């Protein structure tokens, strides 16, 4: 059962129905081709902008729709159900916009957020470095003050759409070692001394380009710093709290797609003279898959409602990311199993889903790190 | 330039049709804007974008046909007119044309009336011709491309071999074929704005029609399901398969 629309208001229902149509008619049929070609679906991102889906949860003053974050996440889930790699791009874009909306000056919001929300610009997020993954505080990229701005130098890794995006949120060190020495910047595409140096070849998410970025004395005007100097790490973490919910919604959409495929296949495939779904053993697997998906959906939407109400939601976001992405891994693996040998061949989409699920357990904080976040908060309180 | 686009609310063509005696069952069936009419709406919107003016959607149907009009409004049309009346249930193509003609006259002055070549549920294809006659307008059918320059419209008219180039003065009525343009998806802001756009609902009496004007004269003599498609021919390759497939395609005039 896909997400239940019964309790939504008219505006939300209209939005989700429109997104479902776009997802089913446009995004889903295109997904396998883009993945096979390892091609960024630029045309689909453009369409996202035309449909007003690039600033859903941000204020109307900056070209957003001013809708709840919960509604935005439901949109992400619907798109992920059709085409995960594309939904990840939307999630990353929104992550970049979040930082500007929550921490940026009025000038920066007019300058950058308005363009991100209208879809004139797409955003990316760059925290990870070769020597600094889970231990993000250890990041080494440097930003030194220079004539009305900063000069950035260093290497970044694993930046989703880093070379396609028009604006990349880059965390770099303006001060001493430790969290307080980090600042956040918006680096515009085409800035001299900045760009992708290598596109990674990956197991899945092949149409979601992952870049190694090189910063070589790249100049960023002071007006493009997000928040105060030294506030960068706090901004990075706050963005991740929000972004993790995006990954949870992506995970739920992917798991739903795998379940839908498994339901279809097990109804059509006959062995021993009857559809294989007539075996109770398989029905129990399907029941567990559906239940886990429903639980994950409830978890991320609960966290989102807390966020929309202005409550703290950090534990809940970590729980949702952990549970939903583990669910996606389990459900996609079971979907392959339910397809038998057909699940293992590329003609059926479930093998791709299984490869795609793996990255969800790694990005925006590995699931070990989610447990660490949850565990720490638990023993603190 | 002001454009009227005829739009029809039909049972979702993606769902197998159900019959109600000799007629297509419509009540309690999920309806949609006829996908063929989306091309008409898009054609109207493109002309509006190029020349200014307004696009008015005109429909006859049950109250639920509002949804088809809303859909067109969310794509960007400006206003809608729905003629709905119990006496119109089961209306034939001629009555439909009379009703739409009266509605279009009442709705305003139009430079262009656009309709699909045929509906995706009834397929008679006779309504637009009748409508042009009743409105006393020249009609150009099967439009592939539409170009308007001071008071005339130039149309590439689809034919089996290619297209005719047809020019006529405005006002005129055009029918557009499916696939002539790419109907836009309604944006979210479009959907929200559509809720506030005006839609007039008129009865037969509001149009000043009565008696013979709306008397349904056509009777459906019967209906039978189309013959099931036959299984295709299976060719087992004994070395001649390529030639036989090529011959088959040639016979079908595909190559
Ligand atoms: C497809 C893809 C897209 C990505 N997109 C982006 C992006 O857009 N922007 C960006 O900044 N980054 C991005 N990343 C990077 C991602 O966030 C990191 O890979 C992730 O945070 C883990 O860092 P790492 O790879 O350096 O692993 P490491 O931190 O080296 O971890 C190695 C292993 O050790 C475990 N581990 C580490 N520390 C601990 C601990 N304290 N306790 C328990 N276990 C621990 C980890 O869970 C993992 O299993 C992306 C990665 C991928 C694969």
> Residue B236: inside a domain, yes or no?
no
Q: Which helix (H) or strand (E) holds B251?
A: helix B241-251
The verdict on B30 touching A (C-beta cutoff 8 Å) is no
- Which residues of A are part of the catalytic machinery? 364
Residue A283 at interface with chain B, using a CB cutoff of 8 Å: no
- From B17's Cα to the closest Cα of chain A, the distance in A is 21
- Ligand 1 atom at shortest distance from the alpha carbon of A124: 8
Cα–Cα–Cα angle for A109, A318, A334, rounded to 5 degrees: 120
- 1.20.58.100, 1.20.1530.20, 1.20.140.10, 2.60.40.420: CATH of A234-380: 1.20.140.10
Q: Name the band, by pLDDT with cuts 50, 70 and 90, for residue A132.
A: very high
Set of chain B residues whose Cβ sits within 8 Å of the Cβ of A52: 187-190
Nearest CA in chain A to B75: A51
What was the ipTM of the complex prediction?
Answer: 0.79
Cβ contact A50–B191 (<8 Å):
no
User: Which CATH number belongs to the domain containing residue B165 in this structure?
Assistant: 3.40.50.620
- Which residues 15-34 on chain A approach chain B with CB closer than 8 angstroms? 15, 18, 21-22, 26
Give phi and psi for A230, each to the nearest 5: 90, -5
Is B204 domain-assigned?
Answer: yes
**Among A90, A125, A128, A371, which is best to mutate for testing ligand 1, by the most ligand atoms less than 8 A from CB?**
A128
Q: Per-residue pLDDT for A368 more than 80?
A: yes
Q: Is residue A362 in contact with ligand 1, taking CB distance under 6 Å?
A: yes
Its sign, for the CA torsion A118, A119, A122, A123, is: positive
Return the top range by mean pLDDT from A2-16, A284-298, B229-243.
A284-298
Residue B234 lies in a domain: no
b/e map A235-246, b = 16+ CB within 10 Å: bbbbbbbbbbbb
Q: CB–CB of B200/B81 below 8 Å?
A: yes
Distance CA B143, CA B158 (A): 6
Which CA distances in Å does B77 have to A22, A354, B83, B115, B193? 20, 44, 18, 14, 10
| Cβ–ligand 1 contact at A359 (below 6 Å) | yes
b/e B129-143 (16+ beta carbons within 10 angstroms → b): bbbbebbebebbbbb
Residue B190: list chain A partners with CB under 8 A: 52
Strand B31-33 and strand B9-11: pairing?
antiparallel
Output the six-digit token pair for B228.
């099931």
DSSP string, A125-183: EE--BTTBSS-GGG---EEEEETTEEEEEEEEEEEETTTT-SEEEEEEESSSSSGGGEE
Q: Write the CA distances from B86 to B10, B18, B91, B115, B204, integer angstroms.
A: 17, 21, 10, 24, 9
* Residues on chain B touching A65 (C-beta within 8 angstroms): 188-189
CB contact under 8 A, B185 and A21: yes
Q: Return mean pLDDT, chain A.
A: 97
* Cross-chain Cβ contact A15/B191 below 8 Å: yes
CB contact under 8 A, A18 and B185: yes
Check CB contact of A185 with chain B, cutoff 8 Å: no
**Ligand 1 atom at minimum distance from A365 CA:** 21
Cα distance between residue A270 and residue A278, in whole Å: 9
In the DSSP assignment, the letter for residue A303 is H
Contacts 24+ apart (CB under 8 A), A129-132: A129/A154, A129/A155, A129/A156, A129/A157, A130/A155, A130/A157
The residue among B50, B98, B77, B71 whose CA lies nearest residue B8 is: B71
Q: Which residues pair with A270 in a beta bridge?
A: A275
A25, closest residue in chain B (CA to CA): B185
- Contact across the interface for B192 and A11, Cβ inside 8 Å: yes
Give the residue, by CA position, lying nearest to ligand 1 atom 4.
A158
Q: How many CB pairs under 8 A join A and B?
A: 27
A10-118: CATH topology is Butyryl-Coa Dehydrogenase, subunit A; domain 1 (1.10.540)
- Which structure tokens are listed for A252? 């739920």
Q: What is the CATH number of domain A123-230?
A: 2.40.110.10
In a domain, B237, yes or no: no
Q: Which domain holds residue B13?
A: 3-225
Q: Is residue B144 part of a domain?
A: yes
For residue A269, what are its two tokens? 């495939």
Residue of A46, A50, A52, A63 for testing the chain B interface, max B β-carbons within 10 Å = A52
Q: Which two tokens stand for residue A283?
A: 């029905």
Residues of B51-62 as b/e, b for ≥16 C-beta within 10 angstroms? Answer: eebebbbbbbbb
- Provide CB contacts within 8 A for B92, sequence distance 6+: B216, B217, B218
pLDDT tens-digit series, residues A228-275: 999 999 999 999 999 999 999 999 999 999 999 999 999 999 999 999
Ligand 1 centroid – CA A199 distance (Å): 17
Query: Rounded to an integer, what distance in angstroms lies between the CA atom of residue A271 and that of residue A340?
Result: 11
A335 vs A262: CA distance, rounded Å: 5
pLDDT at A1 over 70: no
pTM: 0.87
Residue position matching structure tokens 């008409």: B40
CA distance A15 to B189: 9
Structure tokens that stand for A319 in this block: 């729980």
Query: pLDDT tens-digit profile of A61-118?
Result: 999 999 999 999 999 999 999 999 999 999 999 999 999 999 999 999 999 999 999 9
**CB–CB of B188 and A15 under 8 A?**
yes
Handedness of CA B188, B190, B193, B198 (dihedral sign): negative
Helix (DSSP H) and strand (DSSP E) numbers for chain A = 12, 10
Each residue's pLDDT expressed in tens, for chain B with a length of 255 residues? 999 999 999 998 888 888 888 888 887 788 889 999 999 999 999 999 999 999 999 999 999 999 999 999 999 999 999 999 999 988 899 999 999 999 999 999 999 999 998 888 888 889 999 999 999 999 999 999 999 998 999 999 999 899 999 999 999 999 999 888 999 999 999 998 999 999 999 999 999 998 888 998 888 888 888 888 877 888 888 888 899 899 989 888 888
Ligand 1 centre and the CA of B177: distance in Å? 53
Ligand 1 within 6 A of A158 CB? yes
- Average pLDDT (A348-353) is 98
Mutate to test the interface with A, among B188, B190, B193 (most CBs of A within 10 A): B188
Residue B239's pLDDT is 87
Please give the pLDDT value at position B221: 87
Q: Which residues from B are below 8 Å from A21, CB to CB?
A: 185
Please list the residues that pair with A124 across neighbouring strands.
A168
Ligand 1 pocket test, pick from A366, A370, A371 with the greatest ligand atom count within 8 Å of Cβ, gives A366
Q: Long-range contacts of range B219-224, CB-CB < 8 Å, 24 or more positions apart?
A: B220/B22, B220/B23, B221/B22, B222/B22, B223/B19, B223/B22
**Is it the case that residue A158 has pLDDT exceeding 80?**
yes
Closest-CA residue, ligand 1 atom 13, reads: A158
Distances (CA, A) of A249 to A77, B50, B52, B178: 5, 41, 42, 37
Among the listed ranges A75-79, A281-285, A334-338, B35-39, which one has the minimum average pLDDT value?
A: B35-39
Q: How far apart are the first and last CA of chain B?
A: 44
Helix axes B35-51, B66-75, angle to 10 degrees: 40
The rounded Å distance from CA A135 to ligand 1 centre is: 9
**pLDDT at position A342 over 90:** yes
Residue B244 domain flag? no
- Which residue of chain B comes nearest to A63, CA vs CA? B189
Please give the Cα distance from A226 to A101 (Å, whole number).
9
Residue B209 resides in a domain? yes
Residue B111 lies in a domain: yes
Q: What tokens were used for A311?
A: 């409550």
A128 lines ligand 1 (CB under 6 A): yes
CB-CB under 8 Å, B192 with A14: yes
Q: Number of structural domains, chain B?
A: 1
Using a CB–CB cutoff of 8 Å, tell me whether B192 touches chain A: yes
Indicate whether A149 pLDDT > 80: yes
Rounded average pLDDT over A42-59: 96
- If you take atom 27 of ligand 1, which residue's CA is the nearest one? A133
Query: In sequence order, what are the residues at sequence separation of 6 or more whose Cβ sits closer than 8 angstroms to the Cβ of residue A104?
Result: A112, A113, A226, A227
Tell how far the Cα of A364 is from the centroid of ligand 1, in angstroms. 7
Tell me the domain boundaries of chain A: 10-118, 123-230, 234-380
Domains A10-118 and A234-380 share a fold: no
Ligand 1 proximity of A30 Cβ (cutoff 6 Å): no
| Tokens representing residue B123 in the block | 């397929």
Q: Which residue has the tokens 């030639």?
A: B243
Quote the ligand 1 centre to A133 CA distance (angstroms): 5
Collect all residues of chain A within an 8 Å Cβ-Cβ radius of residue B185: 18, 21-22, 26, 47, 50-51
CA–centroid distance, A359 to ligand 1, in Å, is: 10
């Amino acid at each position: 059962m896909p997400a239940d629309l019964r309790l939504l208001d008219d505006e939300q229902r209209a939005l989700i129905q429109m997104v479902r149509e776009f997802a089913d008619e446009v995004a889903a049929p295109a997904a396998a081709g883009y993945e096979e070609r390892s091609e960024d679906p630029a045309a689909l991102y453009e369409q996202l902008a035309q449909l007003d889906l690039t600033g859903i949860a941000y204020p109307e003053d900056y070209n957003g729709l001013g809708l709840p974050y919960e509604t935005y996440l439901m949109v992400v889930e619907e798109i992920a159900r059709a085409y995960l790699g594309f939904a990840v791009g939307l999630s990353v874009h929104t992550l970049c916009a979040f930082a500007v909306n929550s921490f940026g000056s009025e000038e920066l919001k007019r300058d950058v957020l308005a363009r991100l929300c209208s879809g004139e610009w797409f955003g990316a997020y760059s925290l990870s470095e070769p020597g600094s993954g889970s231990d993000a505080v250890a990041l080494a990229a440097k930003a030194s003050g220079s004539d009305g701005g900063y000069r950035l130098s260093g290497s970044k890794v694993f930046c989703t759409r880093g070379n396609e995006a028009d604006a990349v949120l880059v965390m770099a060190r303006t001060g001493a070692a430790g969290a307080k020495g980090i600042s956040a910047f918006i680096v515009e595409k085409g800035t001299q001394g900045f760009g992708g140096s290598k596109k990674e070849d990956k197991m899945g998410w092949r149409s979601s380009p992952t870049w190694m970025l090189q910063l070589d004395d790249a100049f960023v005007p002071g007006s493009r710093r997000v928040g105060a100097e030294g506030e960068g790490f706090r901004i990075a973490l706050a963005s991740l709290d929000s972004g993790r919910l995006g990954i949870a919604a992506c995970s739920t959409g992917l798991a739903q797609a795998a379940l839908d495929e498994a339901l279809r296949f097990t109804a059509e495939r006959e062995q021993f003279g009857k559809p294989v779904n007539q075996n109770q053993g398989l029905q129990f697997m399907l029941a567990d898959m559906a239940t886990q998906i429903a639980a994950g959906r409830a978890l991320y939407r609960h966290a989102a409602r807390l966020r929309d109400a202005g409550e703290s939601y950090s534990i809940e976001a970590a729980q949702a990311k952990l549970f939903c992405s583990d669910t996606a891994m389990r459900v996609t693996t079971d979907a392959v199993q339910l397809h038998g040998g057909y699940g293992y061949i590329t003609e059926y989409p479930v093998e791709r889903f299984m490869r795609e699920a793996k990255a969800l357990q790694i990005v925006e904080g590995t699931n070990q790190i989610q447990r660490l976040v949850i565990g720490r908060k638990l023993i603190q309180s | 330039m002001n454009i009227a686009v005829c739009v029809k609310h039909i049972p979702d063509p993606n769902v197998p049709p159900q019959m109600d005696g000799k007629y297509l069952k419509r009540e309690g069936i999920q309806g949609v804007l006829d996908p063929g009419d989306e091309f008409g709406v898009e054609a109207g919107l493109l002309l509006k974008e190029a020349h200014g003016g307004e696009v008015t959607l005109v429909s006859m149907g049950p109250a639920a046909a509002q949804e088809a009009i809303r859909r067109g409004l969310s794509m960007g049309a400006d206003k809608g007119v729905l003629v709905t009346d119990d006496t119109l249930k089961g209306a034939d193509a001629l009555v439909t044309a009379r009703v739409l003609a009266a509605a279009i006259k009442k709705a305003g002055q139009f430079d262009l009336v656009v309709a699909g070549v045929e509906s995706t549920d009834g397929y008679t294809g006779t309504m637009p011709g009748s409508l042009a006659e009743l409105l006393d307008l020249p009609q150009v059918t099967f439009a592939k491309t539409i170009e308007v320059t001071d008071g005339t419209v130039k149309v590439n008219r689809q034919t089996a071999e290619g297209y005719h180039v047809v020019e006529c003065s405005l006002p005129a009525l055009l029918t557009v074929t499916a696939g002539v343009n790419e109907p836009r998806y309604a944006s979210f802001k479009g959907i929200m704005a559509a809720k506030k756009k005006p839609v007039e609902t008129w009865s037969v009496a509001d149009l000043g029609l009565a008696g013979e004007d709306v008397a349904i004269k056509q009777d459906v003599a019967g209906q039978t399901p189309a013959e099931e498609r036959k299984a295709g021919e299976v060719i087992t390759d004994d070395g001649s398969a390529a030639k036989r497939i090529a011959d088959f395609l040639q016979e079908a005039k595909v190559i």
